[in-house]
Amino acid sequence: MSIKLAASVGIGIFIAFIGLTEANIIVADPGVKVALGNIKSPAVLLAIAGLLFTALLVERKVKGALLWGIIATTVAGMFVTSSAGITVTRMPRVLSDIVKIPSIGVFKQTLFQMDILSAFKWSLLPVIFTFAFMDIFDTVGSISGLAAKLNIIDEKGSFPKADRVLVTDATGTVIGAVCGTTTVTTYIESAAGIAEGGKTGLTAVVVGFCFLLGLFFTPFAGLIPPVATAPALILVGLFMLEPILKIGFKDITEGLPAFLTIIMIPLTYNIAHGLVFGIVSYTVIKLISGRSKEVHPLLRYWKSINLVLSNK
């Protein structure tokens, strides 16, 4: 349970970190890895203003606060000039800057383009297992974090009909592969829907239809700068931190794995890596502290099984 709660917190910090970097509030630094950006920059100031405005909308309980914040920041960017002398957001001048009929020619390059026979080669088995484990851990980490935010996890660490989520995710992965798209899986951006009050699959269905409509508005979406979406990401990250209050940090066998999960997700820039650090450390520390009964048998042998598969 501690790792599942920690996954939500780690994902929240991960999302907020992405938002801070997109707004250039946090920038790369060769000396200290990351550092504070140029706060005096017009684009950074616009992102901060957008964050405060969106936070005000959230406090006032305005429906769709995150979306309105993105729109308002984008419009404001049309009147804010960057240090290079150009506006943060380019103002649309012709209809083609807003609407464009999508071309299906590009899809023909990947649609149904599969070499299934080659996948049965022994040399590809390690690759298949690696992708399978990465997909499993990435999905479980995202699901655990999102479920913790929804506050639907029971005392056993699960929630009603959790198996359906995994089946849906697996089905999406297979269909996405057949269509040649980027991997279709559970994404942490679902936290935005949860933050807006979404609690059922209908939220995802509505978003799906919006994405279909978005195919015709790709030029308009291109006008939205990173500084406009950054405030929403930072706030979603904030919303994901709530489960940290339920983690028992006083018990080192629970607190250390939870802490490693939280810190390694943003620092490795990978949810699966953070979850692996948490699970392995949880298993090991429970075993060496004489509390092996608290560890599920599958977790006791997970590390050795994974090593065998990796070596093969």
Q: Within a domain: residue 135? A: yes
Q: Is residue 95 part of a domain?
A: no
Q: pLDDT at position 312, please?
A: 44
Average pLDDT over residues 89-113: 78
pLDDT digits (tens, 9 = 90+) for 48-80: 999 999 999 999 988 888 889 999 999 999 888
Q: How many domains does the chain have?
A: 1
- The C-alpha R_g of the chain, in whole angstroms, comes to 22
Q: What was the pLDDT predicted at 302?
A: 54
Tokens representing 193 are 């829907």
- Is the Cβ–Cβ distance between 190 and 149 less than 8 Å? no
| pLDDT reported for residue 259 | 95
Query: 130 Cβ partners below 8 Å, 6+ apart?
Result: 310
Summarize the confidence of residues 163-179 as an average pLDDT: 87
Residue 245 pLDDT > 90, yes or no? Answer: no
Average pLDDT of the segment spanning 2-7: 85
Confirm whether 188 is domain-assigned: yes
Measure the CA angle with vertex 209, ends 203 and 210; round to 5°. Answer: 90
Q: What is the pLDDT of residues 105-156, one digit of tens each?
A: 767 778 888 887 877 888 888 778 777 877 777 787 778 778 877 777 777 7
- Quote the CA–CA distance of 262 and 239 in Å, as a whole number: 15
Q: Ranked by mean pLDDT, which of 36-50, 130-144, 185-199 comes out on top?
A: 36-50
Please write the tens of the pLDDT for every residue from 254-272. Answer: 999 999 999 999 999 988 8
Average pLDDT of 202-226? Answer: 86
Q: What pLDDT digit, counting tens, does each position of 217-238 carry?
A: 888 888 888 999 999 999 988 9
Model confidence at 45, pLDDT cuts 50, 70, 90, reads very high
Tell me the C-alpha distance between 51 and 119, whole Å: 47
CA–CA separation, 106 and 77 (whole Å): 32
The answer to whether position 74 is within a domain reads yes
Confidence band (pLDDT; 50, 70, 90) for 178?
Answer: confident
pLDDT at 50: 95
Coil/strand/helix, residue 26: strand
In a domain, 125, yes or no: yes
Domain extent for 85: 2-90+100-311
- Return the number of other C-beta atoms located less than 10 Å from residue 290's C-beta: 7
What is the C-alpha separation between 288 and 253, in angstroms, rounded? 10
pLDDT-derived band at 97 (thresholds 50, 70, 90) equals confident
Query: Which ranges of the chain does DSSP label H, i.e. alpha helix?
Result: 2-22, 42-59, 65-77, 125-150, 162-179, 190-195, 202-214, 218-222, 226-239, 252-268, 271-288, 297-311
Provide the percentage of residues in the chain whose pLDDT is more than 90.
23
CA separation for the pair 102, 141 (Å, rounded): 34
Q: Would 265 be classed as within a structural domain?
A: yes
Nearest in space to 44 (alpha carbons), one of 214, 284, 227: 227
With CA atoms as reference, report the closest residue to 297 among 305, 289, 260: 305
Asked whether residue 247 is domain-assigned, the answer is yes
For residues 50 and 46, give the distance between their C-alpha atoms in angstroms, rounded to a whole number. 6
pLDDT at residue 202 tops 70: yes
As a whole number, the mean pLDDT across the chain is 83
Read out DSSP for 159-227?
-TTHHHHHHHHHHHHHHHHHHTPSP----TTHHHHHHTT--STHHHHHHHHHHHHHGGGHHHHHTS-HH
